[in-house]
Amino acid sequence: MTDAGSTRKAYFLVVSGALKGKQFPFRFNPTEIQHGKQNTFAEVAIPGLVAPPIQYVRGASEKLAFDALVDTSDTLADVRSAYVYPIRALMNIDKDLHAPPVINFVWLAPTNGADKQLLLDLSSISWVIESLNVTYTLFTPDGIPLRAKLAIALKEFTTVEAQAQAFPKSSPDVEKTYAVRRGDTLTSIAETALGGGRRWRAIADANGLSDPRTLSPGRLLLIPRLT
């Protein structure tokens, strides 16, 4: 790939692995970008209520999707070698990471000065390429592709350590839910969720459990806030 100049302001920047620091610019900037974030909530089944309360379960990775037009009709070079294959290679397993490399999506404004201004402030988010679909739309008489539309979907990449620092775990005075796993007991759940195994009765009362030994894996328990 060539260097990202004034006419190639949007590019991928590899931030991990053997290709760290390498730029993969696009021929043209995207004309439309979809940026999404989703959360998962669960309904807590409490008898007698008209509408069940909902409890936050977990978040989901942010997603970024856009179409990029790449074209080599001015040079008659194969658009696959110039653009498609290098971007496709970012989905391959990196020999150092044993996984595809992590990238940033950077879009800079043209400027005559040394500093470049971000047009789209998404470079602080790390991504991996989730999917790439290529549609070839222009060919030479010999069948060499000169133009392609790249449908690119990115998925947020983050680590447990980074999330733990950015979003500390909530305290026992916040109501939440817990999905029962095989081998769990009310005592072990209370130890994990409420900071003490002796608080198991608060969980039993909140969920109408007359027999604390009857816990089925997969059951969603309401963990009451401690006052």
Tens digits of residue pLDDT in 106-138: 887 666 554 455 555 566 789 999 999 999 999
Beta strands in the chain (DSSP E): 10-14, 23-25, 33-36, 39-43, 54-59, 63-71, 103-107, 127-139, 145-156, 176-179, 220-223
Mean pLDDT, rounded, for 170-176: 62
User: Which structural domains are found in the chain, ordered by start?
Assistant: 10-164 (2.40.30), 169-223 (3.10.350.10)
- Name the nearest CA neighbour of 157 among 18, 47, 227, 61: 61
Mean pLDDT, rounded, for 191-218: 85
pLDDT at 186 over 50: yes
What's the number of CA atoms in the CB half-sphere (13 Å) around residue 216? 4
Those residues with Cβ within 8 angstroms of residue 21's Cβ, 6 or more apart along the chain or in another chain: 13, 14
**How many whole angstroms separate alpha carbon 50 and alpha carbon 105?**
46
Those residues with Cβ within 8 angstroms of residue 64's Cβ, 6 or more apart along the chain or in another chain: 33, 34, 35, 36, 105, 122, 125, 127, 153, 154
Mean pLDDT, rounded, for 148-161: 92
